[in-house]
Structure 1
Amino acid sequence: MPLWTKKPPARKTFRRTSGLRTTALTAAALSLALALTGCAGAGTTRPSAARAHAAPGPQAARFGTVDCREARCIALTFDAGPSENSARLLDILKEKQVPATFFLLGKRHILKYPELVERMAAEGHEVASHTWDHKILTRISEKEIREELVRTNEAIERLVGHPPTLMRPPQGRTNDTVHRVCRELGLAEVLWSVTASDYRTTDPALITKRVLAQSSRDGIILLHDIYRGTVPAVPGIIDALKARGYVFVTVPQLLAPGKAEPGKVYHP
């Protein structure tokens, strides 16, 4: 006979402990899920709010050829590149005439593919920071946060002629210290509303399905061009969303005529 049937008190204790452990694990999983979907805290600014609070004047009337106060805009963003897949992605975006925002990693990425960073900027895409080495910023010191961002800013500036104005914290994890450092460095934080979890699948059809199911006006789509299944999914995503009436823009275009303010967090 199993031991626990002979000792009811021990069985009850085990059940209570097990229940507490399950509750703790569930809470931790929910916390991670919130971060991974870009819901990393309160105090975020929606694109529509950024547009509404823009200073009046003729220079604030439009941004390029798209006015997201009128158009059904959506932003396509890619994290953690460049990679060996980025050249093909840039070919697709050029063919489809779609601008994107690239949140780039420094180590092993910007340093390895400088020509792709230059091409991104030359072809009208927004080049932004995803930190130097993808450290979780909420787990490191303020000095280390600054180093992660400064090194990436400097590497991008050397290649495109100016530092980035946008950054995306790894896993969407941020806090007041990150906000303060970003404000000092002239960076706004950008989260997302659509994720395909493309780090968990190589199936382009599944990636496409997930993106289309979550997309809405003013959405910010998170993808990773470092994964094998992502770039093949991009043409179908673009075609399907265009058929629904969406206009693709960069993140600055999505906020215009407002401007991303350093230290603020933008989330659809």
Structure 2
Amino acid sequence: MRVGLLLLSLLLAAGCGEARSSAVPSPSSKSHHAFRAGAQFDAQVFGNRLAGRQRGWPGPRMPVAPPPRKIDCKQLKCVALTFDDGPGDRTDAVLDTLAAHRARATFFMLGQMVTDETRGFVRRMVSEGHELGNHSWDHPSLVGLSPEALRRELQRTQDVVQQVAGVRMRLMRPPYGSTDKRVEDATREEGLAQILWDLDTLDWRDRNAALVAKRSGEAKPGDIVLMHDIHPTTVEALPRLLDELDRKHFTYVTVSELIGSPTPGKAYHKE
């Protein structure tokens, strides 16, 4: 009885005494629970609610990234695997494979692809130490846009990812690798460095898992490797290419771990 009174007092103190229908999503499940007046009291749900209040409830708690790693890519064979155009319905399989190899990567995402169905993947990326990057809202060639449309492509994607994962991205990859002085200026204003690549697996063109794995296996230390997590053949190739890079004793790093602190507007690496 005393426990019940104590929990009720805490509930009222937290400002949660009124009836609510909102839910706190579980990071590992799509199911939702809500505490409603007249419903059976659930201490675990209450604990989640209280934790959420302490972090700025209403809304789900943001994922927590692992602490920064100290990696010396001058001493190690570093490679930065990058994935464009997601998140898609196969991104979870990509994350599973990366986790099995203890590999971190960088995901350059389209804002329009961050939906109710894929937002959990974005949050998982953060919690597992991957880096998030801006790939525009819907993949236009940025050099052909008006200044207003260019800013909108970047800002909408920045905003939706921050809303979903609590992360303000520092990197972007221009669609098609197409950039110019106006794109440089716009990305500088938005605080985004431009990330190109050293090795293009051409997985977007050649939907052949064996070929994609072979090309990726040719990566050299310091390379940024371009892939796409939306193609089934790339998902199929990923275990094989990681096995090959493991055999060569590569260390998998994010782009920022590879290049250091990125400078907004600056373009890094090009095949």
Q: Name the TM-score class by shorter chain.
A: 0.7 to 0.9
2:228 paired with 1:238: no
Task: Report 1:205-216 matches (<5 A).
Answer: 205-213=210-218, 215-216=219-220
Distance 1:177 1:212 in 2: 35
Equivalent position of 1:224 in the other structure: 228
Match of 1:250 in 2: 254
Selected match of 2:192 from 182, 187, 190? 187
Residue number among 245, 261, 264 corresponding to 2:263 in the alignment: 261
**How much has 1:236 moved relative to structure 2?**
1.1
Q: Does 1:118 align with 2:123?
A: yes
Whichever residue aligns with residue 84 of structure 2, its letter is D
Q: CA deviation at 1:84?
A: 0.8
Q: Give the total of aligned pairs.
A: 202
Offset of residue 202 of structure 1: 2.5
Q: Give the partner amino acid of 1:156.
A: V
Q: Percent identity?
A: 39
Distance 2:167 2:191 in 1: 12
Distance 2:243 2:71 in 1: 18
- 1:149 offset after TM fit, Å? 0.1
Q: How far apart are residue 65 of structure 1 and its match?
A: 3.6
**1:165-217 C-alpha deviation (Å, 9 max, x unpaired):** 0000000000000000100000000000111111123321111112223x111
Distance 2:256 2:215 in 1: 25
Structure 1 SS opposite 2:232: coil
Corresponding residue for residue 13 of structure 1? none
Structure 2 length-normalised TM: 0.72
Which residue does the alignment assign to 2:43? Answer: none
SS at structure 2 position matched to 1:64: coil
Specify every segment of 5 or more residues in structure 1 that has no aligned partner in the other structure, as ranges: 1-62
- Matched with 1:106 is 111
> What amino acid sits opposite 1:216 in the alignment?
K
Q: How does 1:19-34 map to 2 (within 5 A)?
A: none
Distance 1:200 1:188 in 2: 26
**Cα separation, 2, equivalents of 1:261 and 1:202:** 34
Q: Does 2:128 correspond to 1:128?
A: no
Q: Deviations over 1:92-129 (max 9, x none)?
A: 1111100000000011x112511111111111100111
Q: Which stretch of structure 1 is more off in the superposition, 156-165 or 176-185?
A: 156-165
Residues 53-64 of structure 1 aligned to structure 2 (within 5 Å): 64=69
How far is the alpha carbon of 1:219 from its aligned partner?
0.2
| Residue matched to 1:170 | 175
Give me the CA root mean square deviation.
1.2
1:36-84 deviations in Å (ceiling 9; x for gaps): xxxxxxxxxxxxxxxxxxxxxxxxxxx6142112111110000000001
SS of 1:218 mapped into structure 2? coil
How far residue 245 of structure 1 moved from its aligned partner, in angstroms, is 2.3
Q: Distance in 2 between matches of 1:171 and 1:201?
A: 16
More helix by share: 1
Consecutive unaligned residues in structure 2, runs of 5 or more:
1-67
Q: Which amino acid aligns with 1:249?
A: V
Kindly indicate whether residue 162 of structure 2 is the aligned counterpart of residue 157 of structure 1. yes
Please give the alpha-carbon distance, in whole angstroms, between the structure 1 residues aligned to 2:70 and 2:129.
Answer: 13
Other-structure match for 2:71: 66
Structure 1 consecutive aligned stretches of length 4 or more whose deviation exceeds 6 Å: none
Q: Which residue does 1:139 correspond to in 2?
A: 144
